[in-house]
Amino acid sequence: MAMLPGLAGAAGPGTDPALATASPEVRRTVVRIIASQDSAGAPFHVIDKKQARLFAFDADGRLLGTSAVLLGAAIGDHSVPGIGNRPLGQIRPEERTTPAGRFVSEQGTNLKGEDVTWVDYDNAVSMHRVRTGKPAERRLERLATPTPADNRISYGCINVPAAFYDRHIRPGPQSLKPAVVYVLPETGSATNAFAPGN
């Protein structure tokens, strides 16, 4: 797997402007993924919850693009046991977390028949196009602001701008190959967060 230009050392920023402005933890994680070939030849995505930002890479470790995303409204790195089997109306505000860890995605549909990218199927956590059905939530406006402070609004799913989703997350039949999704923790370190099975 090819090394990203300028990322031979974990401490140095990438030459791509999008990676140069990424957090040190994102850059270290990308170096580790590529050096260890952890994604096993699959495309991969790194999600920085603290900055509410997604970085999409192809199977060779080349950065395809980066985008702001919307995440679970509550701070936390774990899903409540059994939450995937509960109706949305029964999920309390403090339980609306986006779990951290290493996940192998799966393309599928939700209960409404919408195509989604499952991140953690058992806990009903997916990546999907941003939902705008509730104007009061101002989801598109939240994505457009320069700060991540207002990007916490979902029940735990990762809302991605539609154009970015269609181009980099689910662009066509070739995207049916599972991508590996690395969601960086926000309450701890990513150092040991991405071992297989975590």
Express each pLDDT in 120-134 by its tens digit: 999 999 999 998 889
Token reading at 170:
């689910």
Average pLDDT along the chain: 85
For Cα atoms 35, 190, 117, give the angle at the middle one, nearest 5 degrees: 80
Residues 79-90 have a mean pLDDT of 84
pLDDT, residue 105, reads 94
Instruction: Give per-residue burial for 134-172: e unless 16+ CB within 10 Å, then b.
Output: eeeeebeebbeeeebeebbbbbbbbbbbeebbeebbbee
Fold classified for 17-184: L,D-transpeptidase catalytic domain-like (2.40.440)
pLDDT interval class at 193 (50, 70, 90): low
Ramachandran area for residue 138 (φ above 0: left; ψ -120 to 50: alpha; else beta): left
Express each pLDDT in 19-71 by its tens digit: 888 999 999 999 999 999 999 999 999 999 999 999 999 998 999 999 999 99
- pTM of the predicted model, to two decimals? 0.85
**Residue 2: CB partners within 8 Å, gap ≥ 6?**
34, 60, 61, 62
8-14, long-range: CB within 8 Å, 24+ apart, which pairs?
14/63
User: Hey, is 84 helix, strand or coil?
Assistant: helix
pLDDT, residue 173, reads 55
**Residue 130 near residue 70, CB atoms below 8 Å:** yes
Q: What are the residue boundaries of the structural domains of the chain, listed by start?
A: 17-184
3-state secondary structure 4-39: CCCCCCCCCCCCCHHHHCCCHHHHHHHHHHHHHCCC
Q: How far is CA 7 from CA 16, 52, 55, 65, 181, in A?
A: 10, 22, 15, 16, 20
Residues 130-150 have a mean pLDDT of 93
